[in-house]
């Protein structure tokens, strides 16, 4: 997934599909008969299934899907932000001539590319603390999920909240600086 909208669409599709599967298992599986039921009963993948063989796995997947969606959305968001910042500073770094400044710019680019995302967001805190705090709450929740949900998170975040907050940050800080055509070109370049 290359865009936040791609990640959001994946989440919506996965959730809707899992809910349908769960509903088939819970409400309709035992009532399949006739030609449709016969075709399913002849399929080796479905022949021996009972209702709970469908509802339990789909229910388990639904329970974890929201948290997984936040991990996916934040990962996509993080990549977009890092790439956008690097693209924004590249022309300025290219104009530097003094070796100390050239090396400092290279180190800054390296920190943006691979360093702490909390630090990558630091310059945006000045004047926009509320927006960055909302993103930090999503980041902390993502970290909580990614590291095994060991203690209760400080903030509960839903996929809808995460999507809205991340999209808002992108609209304020990234989208004004890069057109969709340029962004797609950048994605093509990075994929080569």
Please report, for the chain, the start and end positions of each structural domain, with discontinuous segments joined by +: 4-191
Residue 119 CA to its chain's centroid (Å) = 20
Least confident interval from 42-56, 68-82, 98-112: 42-56
- Residue 179 pLDDT: 59
Backbone conformation region of residue 149, classed left if phi is above 0, alpha if psi is from -120 to 50, else beta: left
Crossing angle of helices 51-94 and 129-146, in 10° steps, is 130
Least confident interval from 53-57, 78-82, 150-154, 184-188: 184-188
Least confident interval from 32-46, 58-72, 117-131, 164-178: 32-46
**Confidence check: pLDDT of 191 > 70:** no
- Residue 15 pLDDT: 97
For residues 59 and 56, give the distance between their C-alpha atoms in angstroms, rounded to a whole number: 5
- Residue 39 pLDDT: 74
For residues 144 and 124, give the distance between their C-alpha atoms in angstroms, rounded to a whole number: 23
Predicted confidence band at 50 (pLDDT cuts at 50, 70, 90)? confident
Q: What's the pTM value of the predicted model, to 2 decimals?
A: 0.83
**Confidence check: pLDDT of 99 > 90:** yes
Task: Give the dihedral of Cα atoms 11, 14, 16, 21; nearest 10 deg.
Answer: -160
**Confidence check: pLDDT of 95 > 80:** yes
Closest CA to 190 of 82, 118, 110: 82
Average pLDDT over residues 51-58: 92
Least confident interval from 21-35, 92-106, 144-158: 21-35
- Residue 109 pLDDT: 94
Predicted confidence band at 176 (pLDDT cuts at 50, 70, 90)? low
């Amino acid at each position: 997934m290359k865009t936040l909208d791609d990640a959001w669409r994946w989440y919506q599709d996965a959730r809707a599909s899992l809910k349908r599967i769960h509903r088939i298992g819970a409400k309709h599986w035992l009532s399949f008969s006739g030609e449709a039921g016969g075709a399913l009963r002849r399929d080796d993948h479905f022949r021996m299934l009972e209702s709970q063989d469908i509802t339990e796995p789909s229910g388990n997947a639904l329970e974890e899907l929201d948290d997984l969606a936040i991990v996916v959305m934040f990962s996509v968001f993080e990549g977009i932000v890092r790439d956008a910042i690097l693209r924004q500073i590249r022309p300025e770094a290219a104009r530097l001539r003094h070796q100390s400044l050239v090396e400092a710019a290279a180190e800054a680019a390296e920190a943006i590319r691979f360093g702490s995302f909390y630090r990558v967001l630091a310059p945006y805190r000045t004047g926009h603390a509320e927006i960055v705090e909302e993103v930090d709450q999503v980041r902390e929740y993502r970290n909580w999920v990614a590291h095994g949900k060991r203690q209760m998170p400080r903030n509960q975040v839903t996929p809808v909240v995460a999507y809205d907050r991340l999209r808002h940050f992108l609209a304020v800080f990234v989208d004004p600086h890069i057109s969709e055509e340029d962004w797609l070109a950048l994605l093509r370049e990075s994929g080569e």
